[in-house]
Amino acid sequence: MNSSESSAVEPGLAWFKSSYSGAEGGQCVEVATRTGVVHIRDSKTVAGPVVRVSREAWAGFVGEA
């Protein structure tokens, strides 16, 4: 699996959380997609690191989760 991590937040991304995430906070991640890439970050630390993986890697992860 190819992935990369960066502390730079790419401008113009539309971030979203799972519909299963509650409004009370907790352990949540947010994802945003761009052509061929899925960006993943901690919803509590939006200016923190962002992990980037291919759409295929993300689909494989979600399929196993």
Is pTM, for the whole model, over 0.85?
A: no
How much is the pLDDT for 19? Answer: 72
Return all residues near 1 (Cβ < 8 A) that are at least 6 apart: 53, 54, 57, 60
Structural contact between residues 53 and 2, judged by C-beta atoms closer than 8 angstroms:
yes
How much is the pLDDT for 2? Answer: 57
Domain span holding position 41: 3-64
How many domains is the chain built from?
1
pLDDT 10s digit of each residue in the chain, 65 long?
555 555 556 778 999 887 777 666 667 889 999 889 999 998 888 888 999 999 999 999 989 98
How much is the pLDDT for 24? Answer: 66
3-state secondary structure (DSSP) of residue 61: helix
How much is the pLDDT for 28? Answer: 84
> How many angstroms separate the CA atoms of 42 and 21, rounded?
13
